[in-house]
Amino acid sequence: MSNRLPRSCLSLCLAAMPFACGAAFAAETTVNMNLDLNLKSVPKLELRLLQEPPKLKARARPANRAASKRDEYEKAYDLYIRYANGSIYNPTTAKHDKVRLRSYQQTSGLALDGRDENAATFMAPTVVMAPGQTVRFRLYNQLPVLPAEQCATDDINAPRPPGCFNDTNLHSHGLWVSPSGNSDNVLISIKPEVDFEYEYNIPIDHPAGTFWYHPHQHGATAMQVASGMAGALVVEGDRYPTDKANGDLDVVLKQFQPDDGSGSAGEVMLLQQIPYDCPSNSLTPLKPCDKEAVGMLEDFKQVKDPDAWLMSGRYTSVNGKVQPVMKMDTQRLYRWRLIDTGFQASVVLRIRRANDPQKLLQALSVANQDKDVMELCDGEDVTQFEVASDGLTHDRIIPKTLNYLQPGYRSDILFSLPKAGAYCVYAETNLNNMTTMHDVNNTRLISVITAKTSAKAAARARAGESPRDFLLAELRNAVKRLPVAQLPDSVKGTILGDLENGLKLAKFVPHAGFSAEAKDAMRGKKKEYATFNIAKLDGKTRFMVEGKPEDSPVPELKYVYDPHRVDHTLVLGTEQIWELASKNGSHPFHIHVNPFQIIGITRTDGGAVDAQYKDLLGTWKDTLLVIPNHKIEIATRYQRYIGEYVLHCHILEHEDQGMMQNVKVVLPDGKGGGDMGGHGH
């Protein structure tokens, strides 16, 4: 990994956000700040602070229906998809670029923040759910109808070549809900000027965790997600562990939620990649946009190339803002729900202290192209303690300084800032053959944290404690504060003992793991295989998911995606092992509905297993990067839901070009097999 950031990272200005009420695009405002400055005293600077995405507001109850208890168990929301004007800060020029992009909005005519549509930010609202709820989304497609020639259907590689970018649908990534009908059905298409209501019945035993939603229209997914169409789905839990049942880690961690109301240190961290180009400069991404040019995302070439994101010259945004500032306190435990919504590139997230905070803050207020940010961001690392991945709580807390996030990944981390000053949050956006590399320095500063020692934090400071010791003390005290009425002393003692013994979270794990005996039994039965491959076939580049590698020594057209073919027929109530591999390039494997446990990682060429697989054995996930020369074994259960859904590569331009398969779960036939269906009388 490169240890240097591009000089352009210092071309930052803490500008006012680009939206004045009633104005189509923003004017640039430059301000200065220092650690002791009251940010509220600086006009408009507060708008540069990181904010959590707004929570989507539920639809009002019908006027003819009185309030009742069921209101908490039935929620209905409206989401509008339309073009929005706005601007995105560009650190390369220290200015805002005007953009016009597809976006999710909360109302038919207003932006998410309640101002006119020209004030829209490209940050979808967060939806908060609870186990046992029925949640409905009415999706209004207000995008314009495209010409028929942009929606051709004459390509065998997919239902259509990538195009028809204004058709859409909705996927609840990671939710354990039905894939059929009007639930999490990604095999339907919502045309422009059409609305459709989804209904998700969240089971009472659904895990609490971090999930997300995004379009899943085959052929248009990459273009829509790359426009910023992605939002957080947070399933909140209030179930306390008992002697016989596990509970939700939320009952402990909610004590650490920010209580100042500012939102600048919230939990949801939506990482986005928006590779907009300005047509006026001939789509040359590294050339600055002209003053009056408007950045757009309309050509599949903007997402198609294997290094499209890196070569775009754009920067990863957080909650709709590029390189925002966060205000935090020292000696306080924070939780981040990291969601990588990127369409293509990985993010290796790192937090380091700046040894000269004042210089770093000066670099944020004046464009200084001669500085090297890594000279400023060269202090000690902040340890990230991961408690969950892909919305599923680990059986133990995993410490890391490099957090490998692939498209579709979620990572719930706890961390604290040991000293006052400034901290750099930055990322390397290439990883292990994830992309074809050009001679581009692609490490990017994501944001800056300013940390102060508050009176409350100073009173709690523990001199000489390691980050692990501080974490353990905070969690231990939080558990002790839980009411005995909800958490008996016997269970509390078990939780405290687990924390002391290796930071274990055994009483909060949502899924029972597979025993050694169960894994041995599954290895003796039929397995499923998914092998990623990109190859030239019939004069075209084919993006395919093949079967067992040994069964396909050469590429075959039978593995080209066919929307009418079921590639895997699975039986409800059974358990099974899958083997994952890749013949070329690294690909994030994602399967809908049922998560999986990683039970085996081996290197097929005798080399060392890739570093990012460290600590993944035994982990439950729904998305996992598959690197060439590795064989990954995952185990899963087909529970509760029947119907047809998909697995695919979560590099979204690969999915759009056919790197996907159809999966169908059927009822058992009572004879050890599956019932293939039919009309009963």
Q: What is the DSSP string of 618-640?
A: T-EESEEEE-TTEEEEEEEE--S
Place of tokens 């803050």: 361
What would the two tokens of residue 607 be?
């080399």
3-state helix, strand, coil in the chain (%, to 5): 15, 30, 50
CA distances 450 to 31, 268, 329, 335, 453, Å, are 16, 18, 8, 16, 10
Each residue's pLDDT tens digit, 332-355: 999 999 999 999 999 999 999 998
Task: Give kind and range of the element (H or E) at residue 543.
Answer: strand 540-546
State residue 40's pLDDT score.
46
Q: How far apart are CA 361 and CA 364, in angstroms?
A: 5
Query: pLDDT category, 157, cuts 50, 70, 90?
Result: low
Q: Are 74 and 46 in contact (CB under 8 A)?
A: no
Residues recorded for the chain: 681
Each residue's pLDDT tens digit, 281-319: 455 544 577 878 899 999 999 999 888 998 888 989 999
Which phi and psi angles does 386 have, rounded to 5°? -80, 125
Give the mean pLDDT of the chain: 84
State residue 230's pLDDT score.
97
pLDDT (average), residues 164-184: 97
Each residue's pLDDT tens digit, 649-680: 999 999 999 999 999 999 998 877 777 765 44
SS3 annotation, 584-603: CCCEEEEECCCCEEEEEEEE
Q: Which of 623, 640, 584 has the alpha carbon at shortest distance from 306? A: 584
What would the two tokens of residue 449 be?
């944290």
Each residue's pLDDT tens digit, 50-92: 888 889 999 887 777 777 777 888 999 999 999 998 889 888 8
Question: Residue 457: is its pLDDT beyond 70?
Answer: no
Extended strands (E) in 66-124: 74-90, 95-105
Q: Give the three-class secondary structure for 661.
A: strand
Q: Are 339 and 173 in contact (CB under 8 A)?
A: no
Each residue's pLDDT tens digit, 387-428: 999 999 999 999 999 999 999 999 999 999 999 999 999 887
Q: Which of 50, 6, 115, 1 has the alpha carbon at shortest distance from 441? A: 6
Question: Residue 12: is its pLDDT beyond 50?
Answer: no
State residue 94's pLDDT score.
79
State residue 378's pLDDT score.
86
Q: What is the 8-class DSSP label of residue 461?
A: -
CATH architecture of 516-666: Sandwich (2.60)
CATH architecture of 10-322+338-348: Sandwich (2.60)
Q: Which amino acid is at 571?
A: V
CB environment 635-670: b (16+ within 10 A), e (fewer):
bbbbeebbbbbbbbbbbbbbbbbbbbbbbbbbeeee
Q: Which amino acid is at 473?
A: A
State residue 436's pLDDT score.
33
State residue 279's pLDDT score.
77
When mean pLDDT is compared across 170-184, 233-247, 268-282, 315-329, the lowest value belongs to: 268-282
The dihedral through the CA atoms of 480, 481, 487, 488 has a sign that is positive
DSSP per-residue string spanning 389-449: ETTEEEEEEEEESSEEE-TT-EEEEEE---SSEEEEEEEE---TTSS---S---EEEEEEE
Question: Chain centroid to CA 303: how far?
Answer: 18
When mean pLDDT is compared across 4-8, 245-249, 526-530, 584-588, the lowest value belongs to: 4-8
Question: Residue 1: is its pLDDT beyond 80?
Answer: no
State residue 160's pLDDT score.
56
In the chain, where the domains are located: 10-322+338-348, 462-508, 516-666
Q: How far apart are CA 216 and CA 167, in angstroms?
A: 10
Which phi and psi angles does 71 have, rounded to 5°? -60, -30
602-605, long-range: CB < 8 A, 24+ apart: 602/630, 602/631, 603/629, 603/630, 604/629, 604/630, 604/631, 605/629
Domain 10-322+338-348 matches domain 516-666 at the CATH topology level:
yes
Q: Give the three-class secondary structure for 457.
A: helix
What would the two tokens of residue 180 be?
């059929």
Q: Which of 546, 606, 605 has the alpha carbon at shortest distance from 581? A: 546
State residue 149's pLDDT score.
78
Q: How far apart are CA 203 and CA 45, in angstroms?
A: 43
SS3 annotation, 167-235: CECCEEECCCCCCCCCCCCCCCCECCCCEEEEEEECCCCCCCEEEEEECCCCCCHHHHHCCCCCEEEEE
More confident residue, 186 or 281: 186
Pairing of strands 623-626, 568-571: unpaired
Pairing of strands 209-214, 231-235: antiparallel
Query: pLDDT category, 280, cuts 50, 70, 90?
Result: low
Q: Which of 251, 248, 171, 183 has the alpha carbon at shortest distance from 211? A: 171
Which residues 6+ apart lie within 8 Å of 123 measured at CB? 53, 112, 228, 231, 270, 272, 319, 320, 321
Pairing of strands 317-318, 268-272: antiparallel
State residue 151's pLDDT score.
82
Q: Which of 586, 660, 657, 653 has the alpha carbon at shortest distance from 305? A: 653
Q: How far apart are CA 333 and CA 471, in angstroms?
A: 7
Q: How far apart are CA 640 and CA 203, in angstroms?
A: 10
State residue 117's pLDDT score.
41
Q: Which of 528, 477, 235, 218 has the alpha carbon at shortest distance from 333? A: 477
When mean pLDDT is compared across 4-8, 130-134, 368-372, 470-474, the lowest value belongs to: 4-8
Question: Residue 33: is its pLDDT beyond 70?
Answer: no
253-258, long-range: CB < 8 A, 24+ apart: 253/335, 253/387, 253/414, 253/478, 255/478, 255/481, 256/332, 256/333, 256/334, 256/335, 256/414, 256/474, 256/478, 257/335
Per mean pLDDT, which of 7-21, 258-272, 496-510 is the most reliable? 496-510
State residue 490's pLDDT score.
96
Question: Residue 488: is its pLDDT beyond 60?
Answer: yes
